Amino acid sequence: MSEDIVGLNPVRAAGAVASSALLLAGAGWAVRAGWEVRLARAGEPAGGPPDQGDGRHRALTSLEDGYHLVSSVGGVLTAVCVVAFLVWLGRVRGNARVLSGRAPRYRGAWVLFGWVVPVVNLWIPRGVVAEVYRDSAPGRRLPRVVDVWWGLWLVGLVSGVGLVYGDSTDELVARAYDNVWPLVLCDLALVGAAAAGAAVVRAVTRVQTERAALHV
């Protein structure tokens, strides 16, 4: 009997896409961290930072141009990752409701807005994923990798230098010249969050496919 016959959404393909997208996004952040180290080692040019103030910008060096490209590609990979993860999350949430026979605690718009609304975004997304796992595998302990994933994600979220920041790319270049390590450490936290997130996706996908197999 297939996942479709027992009323469950097929999740293997969505899980594979989401975990792969997470790893690709993590690779993008790793390249960005490496580029920031390259900028720090090269040192700031004699002309000063790229953003000269008062709307004036000097010509970028090839290394700075490369950082702009790396940041842009990383942004695209992150956007793809977000879409893939949310598609997967929607499928496994639906399955969890079928498996548990009860409505989820966090409903509707909270699945999306819980990621971006200040303060509540510190716990709601983790709560959604944890609830899906527990409803899919009653009696099993929540994998530790869920907390690892969420802890690293929060570092990137609240640090002000990683995933969410108000600085332009040119201002980040200037930061790399001035004090690169906060940038690099935050980027590496996001790399770890991406890797742990891929493991979370695989864990949830696995327990749901195992439950589906019990109906064969």
| 129-151 pLDDT tens trace | 999 999 999 989 999 999 999 99
Average pLDDT over residues 97-106: 85
For residue 51, report the phi and psi dihedrals to the nearest 5 degrees. Answer: -85, 110
* 53: phi then psi, degrees, rounded to nearest 5: 90, 160
For the record, the structure tokens of 76 come out as 């695209």
pLDDT band at 48 (very low <50, low <70, confident <90, very high): confident
In order of 55, 154, 178, 185, 195, the CA distances from 121 in angstroms are 34, 9, 31, 22, 20
Mean pLDDT of 92-109: 86
**pLDDT for position 62:** 94
Predicted pLDDT at 2: 43
Which pLDDT does position 1 carry in this prediction? 36
Neighbours of 150 (CB within 10 A): 21
Say how far apart CA 60 and CA 70 lie, in whole Å: 14
Q: What is the pLDDT of residues 166-184, one digit of tens each?
A: 678 888 999 999 999 989 9
Give residues with Cβ within 8 angstroms of 14, minimum separation 6. Answer: 84, 87, 88, 91, 205
Average pLDDT over residues 97-111: 83
3-class SS letters over the chain = CCCCCCCCCCCHHHHHHHHHHHHHHHHHHHHHHHHHHHHHHHCCCCCCCCEEECCEECCCCHHHHHHHHHHHHHHHHHHHHHHHHHHHHHHHHHHHHHHHCCCCCCCCCHHHHCCCCCCHHHCHHHHHHHHHHHHHCCCCCCCHHHHHHHHHHHHHHHCCCCCCCCCCHHHHHHHHHHCCHHHHHHHHHHHHHHHHHHHHHHHHHHHHHHHHHCCC
Least confident of 46-50, 60-64, 189-193: 46-50
Q: What is the pTM of this model?
A: 0.89
% the chain with pLDDT above 70: 92
How many angstroms separate the CA atoms of 209 and 216, rounded? Answer: 11
pLDDT at 110: 80
Predicted confidence (pLDDT) at residue 214 exceeds the cutoff of 80: no
Give 115's pLDDT tier (boundaries 50, 70, 90): confident
Evaluate if residue 11 carries a pLDDT over 90: yes
pLDDT of residue 78: 93
Average pLDDT, the chain: 88
